[in-house]
Amino acid sequence: MRRRGRRPVLYRSWVAVGAASVVLLAACGAGVGWTSGAGAASTTGVTKSSITIGATVPLTGPAAPGYSEIAPAMDAVFKWVNAHGGVYGRKIKYIYLNDKYDPSTTAKLTRKLVLTDHIFADVGSLGTPTDLAIQKYLHAEKVPHLFIESGCNCWSTSKYPEELGWQPPYTTDGKILGMYIKTHFPGKKIGELYQDTEFGKDFMKGIQMEVPASAIVSKQSYDVTTLAGAMTTQMAALQAAGAQVVAMATIPAATALAMLPAYAIGYTPQYVVDNVGADAPTVGPLLSSFTQLATKTSSKAAAAPGLLNGVITNIYMPAESTATNPWIKVEKAILEKYTTTTVWKKHGLDGNTEYGVALGYTFVQALQAAGKNLTRTSLMHALDTKAKSFHTPGLVPLRYSTKVHYGYMGSEVVQETTAAGTFKTPAGTWPSTKVLSPVYTTTTGRGPVKKYTGKVPSVPKALAKLAG
Amino acid sequence: MRLFVNVLLSGVAQGMVFAAIALGLVLISRATGVINFAQGAMAMFTTFLAYTLLEHGIGYWPAFVATLAIGFVFGGLVERTLMRPLQGKSPLNAVIVTIGLLVVLEGLAGSIWGNTSRGFPAAFSQQGLAIGTTRVAFSTFDVFTVGAVVVLVAAIVALFRWTNLGLRMRAGAFAPEVARLLGVRVGRLFTLGWALACAAGSLAGLLVAPVSSFSPYYMDLYLIYGFVAAVLGGLVSPVGALVGGLVTGLATAFVGGYLGSNLEPMAALVLLLIVLMARPQGLFGTAIARRV
């Protein structure tokens, strides 16, 4: 009896709750509809006063050295922007998570960024295997996958229209350096040392398009997952093959681990190193142990200008050593004022922090170009149509169009040499950069390497003011 | 010819480092039956302490000695605090604790010293020795490496063979209950085993750091090679560890030099497989007879 008597009451209360929630939901729905009707964004991750973006980067693990500085440097740009009112009143919130360069972690963290943090876009995620692991997912979720920190030839494809590379594709690096080798070291024996991934293979593809196959006497590679000690065997093999010029596609640690044993066996070829692994303040500290003996000085050695001196590489942004360059001044000012981490104190302006600032500023420009009514579509449209006129630190303008989703497609050949002077960072004193060639542009295909004759993007006034 | 000599010499230098790591594994394994997965991480941590000492202007040799001493104490502490409570429980527990220690130490080192790679000073010049006009892939520092590891192995062999303490250690490892009944304080010997192992690890850390990119993870791969070396040597004998290290070092160097460096880790594992199939007790092991 009792139960029977109670049941309807219970049912009624559930009905009431149900009805109430329907009303509540309707109210919420009306609220959202109203806001978007008033012109603010209904886009995920965008409100009237904020834009939330995310990325996965290695903050620990073998790939962290150097690369862990990039995201904090990007964030410094956003802090500067936020301190000046944001972009169209929206402040940029940048969530970067540590994937340790492990693709399965990248996939997991990216789902968290999309589902829990509701990011507007994935901006500046680092690595080829890691970004390949999330491209399908971001495509399915229609999340822009912007400024991937990798030069793989795989980011410009109609299959993934929301995907954009940023730095020059490795094949264009290889072609430009290959052309330099062909014209300046004719008849010399060429050796290759490359990372056994898309990075190394794409770069050597470029080298081989320019350097005649008969000149290449030895091809050595290394496995980045098992990179631990000095690469004595590879360097001994290059020496035994008589290679006088060694073209290298190596990450910074690998550059050091190649130069050290070569020096030990008295092998001093002309190194031609892809920009990824040639940044003196990044590679130098790894070399310091060889230049000074522990028994004579403390371990804080004045690095290794000796080993890096004479290295030929390519750059697509102004060299850190050109202190008078307006972009360099601005980058230093942003890092000094807006990095809360120890990045500025420990590294100052090196290749990684410069990369971060430039990439962060590219995103700010994209937001400005997308206009007040920010949506994913308006952002992608702005990048496809207006990026060529962005003011970023590249030596060439960004290349984005509806057909091409690579960023910088050009660079100049330089030499790190004490003959050009030296420059200091908190990590030590390094050989300055001497320009060896004009700025070249090229494609990832068989297209020619062409001299760039257009304008070099200048520093916008708002930024120039910052440097004082 | 030049390539052959260089590969041979770099294999020897590399092998000695593997031997030092293998020695640490062997010391713990024979004393307590545990494979210490934190061997590399413990070595890394003490090497970072050495780095800090050097940064503070303490000379290399005082720092070198201090680091070995720190390693010794550290190893003993780990045994007393982490491993002792697990005694008599499933060996799997101990293994999992050492893996946990590995993760904790690498994380801790990263948060204290940062994850960036850096250079680490060597005791002697790393420029290859000159023979006539050519330099070979063997430096004064490599000579020191070989010497230090050989001396360490000799000292440990002497300890086991000719001292009373060594006899008790062997007895404690062979039959703990019987040794205990005879008045040997086996627990202390376990602590000593860990302490010696960690000191050996510290030496390995100091020898590896200058020839690798020194970061909280720099010992990870070396631990794998060290493990291969230890198993090759039979996991019981210090001399076995030395020979195992040398064989592993030479095998990886020759495969790397002539077949391609990508095959180096595989070469080590194939070697391991061959030895385990042909002689499961390792080159110097006698464990099978006892296990029956």
Q: State the Cα–Cα distance between residues A161 and A146, nearest whole angstrom.
A: 11
Give B7 to chain A, closest Cα distance, Å. 6
- Whether A276 has a pLDDT exceeding 50, the answer reads yes
CA nearest neighbour of A253 among A231, A235, A220: A231
- Beta carbons of B120 and A293 less than 8 angstroms apart: no
Instruction: Quote the pLDDT of residue A9.
Output: 43
Chain B residue with the nearest C-alpha to that of A300: B55
Residues B229-261 pLDDT 10s? 999 988 888 999 999 999 999 999 999 888 888
Contact B116 A65 (CB under 8 A): yes
Backbone φ and ψ of B136, nearest 5°: -105, 165
Instruction: Quote the pLDDT of residue A345.
Output: 84
Contact B119 A226 (CB under 8 A): no
Closest residue to A233, CB basis, from B57, B208, B253: B253
Instruction: Quote the pLDDT of residue B286.
Output: 63
- Mean pLDDT score, A106-119: 96
- What count of Cα atoms within 13 Å lies in the side-chain half-sphere of residue A309? 13
For residue B87, count CB atoms less than 10 angstroms from its CB and return exposed for 0-12, middle for 13-18, buried for 19 or more: middle
- Whether B181 has a pLDDT exceeding 70, the answer reads yes
**What is the number of residues in chain A?**
468
* Residue A289 pLDDT class (50, 70, 90 cuts): low
Q: State the Cα–Cα distance between residues A386 and B268, nearest whole angstrom.
A: 54
Chain A residue with the nearest C-alpha to that of B128: A264
- Mean pLDDT score, A386-403: 93
Residues A340-349 pLDDT 10s? 767 888 888 9
pTM here is: 0.82
- Mean pLDDT score, A107-120: 96
Best mutation target among A233, A234, A279, A307 (most B Cβ atoms within 10 Å) is A233
**What is the number of residues in chain B?**
292
Please state the domain extents for chain A: 1-29, 50-168+326-408, 171-315+411-458
- Whether A19 has a pLDDT exceeding 50, the answer reads no
- Whether A51 has a pLDDT exceeding 60, the answer reads yes
Domain B2-291 has CATH 3.30.1390: no
Please state the domain extents for chain B: 2-291
Residues B264-280 pLDDT 10s? 888 988 998 998 888 87
Q: B 127-146 residues with CB below 8 A of A?
A: 127-128, 130, 134-137, 139
- Beta carbons of A79 and A147 less than 8 angstroms apart: no
Give B153 to chain A, closest Cα distance, Å. 23
* Residue A200 pLDDT class (50, 70, 90 cuts): very high
Give A396 to chain B, closest Cα distance, Å. 31
Q: State the Cα–Cα distance between residues B229 and A55, nearest whole angstrom.
A: 41
Instruction: Quote the pLDDT of residue A468.
Output: 63
Right CATH for A171-315+411-458 from 3.40.50.720, 3.40.50.300, 3.30.420.10, 3.40.50.2300: 3.40.50.2300
Grouping H, G, I as helix, E, B as strand and the rest as coil, residue A249 is strand
Q: State the Cα–Cα distance between residues A266 and A236, nearest whole angstrom.
A: 10
* Residue A291 pLDDT class (50, 70, 90 cuts): low
- Whether A50-168+326-408 shares its CATH topology with A171-315+411-458 is answered yes
Chain B residue with the nearest C-alpha to that of A304: B119
| Domain at A50-168+326-408: CATH code | 3.40.50.2300
Instruction: Quote the pLDDT of residue A341.
Output: 67
Cβ-Cβ contacts under 8 Å, A233 against chain B: 6-7, 10, 253, 256-257, 261, 264
Contact A294 B60 (CB under 8 A): yes
Best mutation target among A282, A296, A299 (most B Cβ atoms within 10 Å) is A299
Q: State the Cα–Cα distance between residues B8 and B97, nearest whole angstrom.
A: 38
Enclosing H/E stretch for A77: helix A70-83
The better pLDDT of the pair B224, A287 is held by B224
- Whether B192 has a pLDDT exceeding 70, the answer reads yes
* Residue A298 pLDDT class (50, 70, 90 cuts): very low
How many Cβ atoms are within 10 Å of B79's Cβ, its own excluded? 26
- DSSP secondary structure letter of residue B160: H
